[in-house]
Amino acid sequence: MAAFSAFMQRVTFAFGLIGSFAVVSGAHANDITAQWPGWNEVSPEVFPDETWLRYEAPEDAGWSADGLAAAAAYAQEHGSSAGFVLYDGAVLTEWGETERRFKCHSVRKSLMSALFGMAVAEGSINLDESLAEIGIDDDTPLTDMEKSAKVSDLLKARSGVYLPAAYETRSMKRGRPERGSHAPGTHWYYNNWDFNALGAIYNLKTGRDLFGDFEARLARPLGMQDFDLSHTYYHLEAQNSRFPAYPFRMSARDLARFGLLFLNEGKWSDQQIIPASWVAESTRSYSARKRGGGYGYMWWTFGRKLGEMGTYAALGYGGQAVIVVPAARLVYVNRVNTYDRHRMSTKAIADTLVQILKARTGPPKADPKLVPVPELDRSHASVTLTADERARLTGAYRSDLINARVTDDGDGLAISDPNQGTFHLVPQGPTSFLIEGFQREAQFVENGAGEITGLKIAKAKDGWSLVPRVGD
């Protein structure tokens, strides 16, 4: 868990990805794309139930199995930990640990945008309301000009509030404009203050918790297989701002459901979950980028050929991406294991998407054969511990890098860190565990009297981090 502190969001990833897509996508000026609308009409609309359905043969859906396999192999060679590709709601291809809950990084912002769409539709939130009218201020008091920023300005990252924020990176700090240099609505700056304040605004205006709403209003209706509230948390940096960031950990196959919802303009089966008008409004550009593409309501848009296809995406540090290509009826989710310092280059993600699109060969069959995607066993549990065996392990563990608490919820143990959230501990022996999601070994240390004195956590490569026990 010590390695966690090294992995923070990098806005430069998102900027680079936009530029890479703008350049690379020009190579896919393929004549057959003009035929795609007609091909899409032939394909039946599919929504997953408890598990996904996949095309038994991608050729039945009008795609080359060899071309898709080549794209998957290329992605994995270049750092992808998991990929999930849909055509019209059924799986074309997948690779890697699609069920593993990796850190979403800045993909969280597009998840929040979806919640805002529902709150605006029900009248809880008014996009034209200002920070002053809502009563938003920070520990460093906002000026009258800053308080005039509207909710819509924050969604567009155009608030004009240039203050320190939680989860801010060095590049964000270096690029932050001088305070008061731009009036609200006049300048785009990728601003964690805006994004974090939106979380507080959502909770205040709806009277609910954003994570609870995500579970009740999106995860459950969409049938997400791996999502749980324990995989979310508020990351507060009180020295910077009163507004915490709101990280998520999610699997590729669950994020694919989110992408499919947007591909279908907010509709899931026969239920309109997000207004179609919000999908259109939030995924169009309000701020153009110099290297192509732009920024909507916490969604990225693209230029050149992909822009012509209506492409937009949720993007995050290290290679996290949920990319929607409406003209191709395609969703491509890419995940990278940033726990272990892995990263996929922006160009490699762009090249993978282009290879996937080039694998389209013709119209689908009227009735392609669909088969269930097998469920995966993620438990990895090899033993079961008694309540007494678990109780002796609970307590506080602290070092210079880790401030953790081990707790027992009645069903099992979990380890929590205020900067990283909560992870389940999957027992492998009486004192040996696997940190689920993080996928590192953890071993409790005993002294000669059988007392628990510390916790060892495996490092990304070799060795262990020892965290002494400091109390109950």
At 224, phi and psi to the nearest 5? -60, 135
Where helices occur in 90-143 by DSSP H, the ranges are 107-121, 131-134
Give dist(CA 265, CA 250) in Å, integer. Answer: 22
* CA separation for the pair 437, 307 (Å, rounded): 35
Residue 282 has which token pair?
A: 């939030």
- Does residue 230 contact residue 200 with C-beta atoms inside 8 Å? no
The residues, ordered by sequence, that sit 6+ positions from 241 with a Cβ below 8 Å of its Cβ are 138, 139, 140, 163, 164, 165, 166, 193, 196
**128 neighbors 205 (Cβ within 8 angstroms):** no
Residues 160 and 145: beta-carbon distance below 8 Å: yes
Contact 193, 236 (CB under 8 A): no
Element (H, E) at 291: none
Residue 53 makes CB contacts below 8 A (sequence gap 6+) with 46, 89, 90, 91, 370, 371, 372, 373
Predicted local confidence at residue 394, as pLDDT: 97
| pLDDT score, position 56 | 97
Kindly give the confidence (pLDDT) of every residue in the chain, 472 residues in length, as a single tens digit, with 9 standing for 90 and above: 443 333 233 444 444 555 555 544 444 444 689 999 999 988 878 999 999 999 999 999 999 999 999 999 999 999 999 999 999 999 999 999 999 999 999 999 999 999 999 999 999 999 999 999 999 999 999 999 999 999 999 999 999 999 999 999 888 899 999 999 999 999 999 999 999 999 999 999 999 999 999 999 999 999 999 999 999 999 999 999 999 999 999 999 999 999 999 999 999 999 999 999 999 999 999 999 877 889 999 999 998 889 999 999 999 999 999 999 999 999 999 999 999 999 998 889 989 999 999 999 999 998 899 999 988 766 666 789 999 999 999 999 999 989 999 999 888 999 999 888 999 999 999 999 999 999 999 999 999 999 999 999 999 888 999 999 998 8
| Distance spanning both ends of the chain, measured CA to CA | 20
| pTM passes above 0.85 | yes
Residue whose tokens read 């999601």: 437
Backbone angles phi, psi at 347, to 5 degrees: -65, -40
Given the structure tokens 């939030």, which residue do they identify? 282
338: CB partners within 8 A, 6+ apart = 7, 102, 103, 105, 317, 318
Q: What is the 8-class DSSP label of residue 5?
A: G
Give the SS3 label for residue 155: helix
* DSSP-based three-state secondary structure for 147: helix
- The helix/strand/coil state of 124 is coil
Q: Exposed, middle or buried: residue 237 (CB in 10 Å: 0-12, 13-18, 19+)? A: middle
Rounded Cα–Cα distance for residues 161 and 293 (Å)? 24
CA dist., res. 315 & res. 232, Å (int): 18
Angle subtended at Cα 283 by Cα 282 and Cα 284, rounded to the nearest 5 degrees: 100
Q: Which residues contact 289 (CB under 8 A, 6 or more apart)?
A: 15, 18, 19, 295, 303
Kindly tell me the sign of the dihedral angle through the C-alpha atoms of 10, 15, 16, 17. positive
Contact 381, 427 (CB under 8 A): yes
Of the candidates 30, 65, 87, the one whose C-alpha atom is nearest the C-alpha of residue 263 is: 87
Q: Which of 467, 339, 458 is nearest to 393 (CA)?
A: 467
Angle among Cα 405, 239, 5 to the nearest 5 degrees reads: 45
Q: Which amino acid would we find at residue 338?
A: T
Q: CA-CA distance, 5 to 20, in Å (whole number)?
A: 28
Looking up tokens 């070092």 gives 399
